Amino acid sequence: MPKEGHYINRSNWLRAAVLGANDGIVSSASLLVGVSSAGMVHSNVMLTGLAGLTAGALSMAAGEYVSVSAQADVEEADLERERVALIEDPDYELSELAEGLENRGVESDLALEVAAQMTDHDALGAHAREELGMFGLAGNANPLQAAGASALAFAVGGGLPLLAVGVAPMGLRAAVVAGVAVLALVLLGSVGAHFGGAPKGPAVRRAVLWGTLAMAVTAAVGRLFGGI
């Protein structure tokens, strides 16, 4: 019998990669479409795009580092409270673990027996999983790794619209950038769904829908202020 293929273990890094790449494509393309629609000259469009790409990648890195660090701090604080509770009142913690197992359908006597075995094996790990919903103790979250991955994904995604500016004819610059961005979003939605084992259609549609909306709004703002 073939083994089931599960993809939930990919959710953390896949979420960060898709978020970074999507943000890079949409923000860079929207910025470039906006300033192109305002009639900005080519050299200034390139400079604006490069500045936006640099600032965005660094912002993503900083945001991921801060958010993952905050998550790790919360997890470690909760684990410390559990360590103290296991030392100060082990009987209550055992009954709490058994009650949690009962609530999940295990018979009362068996739940207490299983809870005792789990406590003997790894008390803190058992409470982290059953009580706190933490599958793996603190330390799995790596702020530097998350920051680097997000910055790289943003730079790759945002670099595509910027490259399009370099090769697009001046009169078609906004249209070419938007077209490249839409194709990149289609690819991102498809690849993200593939690695997550999810249907590709919905992933592609939502990526293209929100990306197109962002570019359309920015283009309208560019045209509005470009005529002032």
Instruction: Identify the pLDDT of residue 133.
Output: 75
Instruction: Identify the pLDDT of residue 38.
Output: 86
Distance CA 116, CA 1 (A): 34
Local confidence band at 208 (pLDDT 50, 70, 90 cut-offs): very high
Q: How many Cα atoms within 13 Å fall on the side-chain side of residue 41?
A: 2
- Of 11-25, 109-123, 165-179, the one with minimum mean pLDDT is 11-25
Instruction: Identify the pLDDT of residue 218.
Output: 92
Beta-carbon count within 10 A of 190 CB: 15
Instruction: Identify the pLDDT of residue 114.
Output: 85
Local confidence band at 194 (pLDDT 50, 70, 90 cut-offs): confident
The model scores a pTM over 0.85: no
Q: For residues 199-210, give the mean pLDDT.
A: 92
CB 22 within 8 A of CB 185: yes
In whole angstroms, what separates CA 218 from the centre of its chain? 24
CB 142 within 8 A of CB 69: no
Distance CA 20, CA 14 (A): 10
Local confidence band at 2 (pLDDT 50, 70, 90 cut-offs): very low
Beta-carbon count within 10 A of 171 CB: 9
- Of 14-23, 159-168, 182-191, 213-222, the one with minimum mean pLDDT is 14-23
CB 75 within 8 A of CB 153: no
Q: Which of 42, 61, 14 is nearest to 158 (CA)?
A: 61
Distance CA 117, CA 115 (A): 5
pLDDT one-digit tens code per residue, 179-189: 999 999 999 98
pLDDT one-digit tens code per residue, 106-156: 888 888 888 888 888 888 888 888 877 776 544 456 788 888 888 999 999
The first and second tokens of residue 207, run together, are 């990526």
Inform me whether the pLDDT recorded for 64 exceeds 80.
yes
Give residue limits of the domains in the chain.
Answer: 9-68+144-226, 77-130
Inform me whether the pLDDT recorded for 58 exceeds 80.
yes
Q: For residues 7-36, give the mean pLDDT.
A: 80
Tokens 């929207």, residue located: 30
Q: Which of 51, 15, 71 is nearest to 188 (CA)?
A: 15
Instruction: Identify the pLDDT of residue 1.
Output: 44
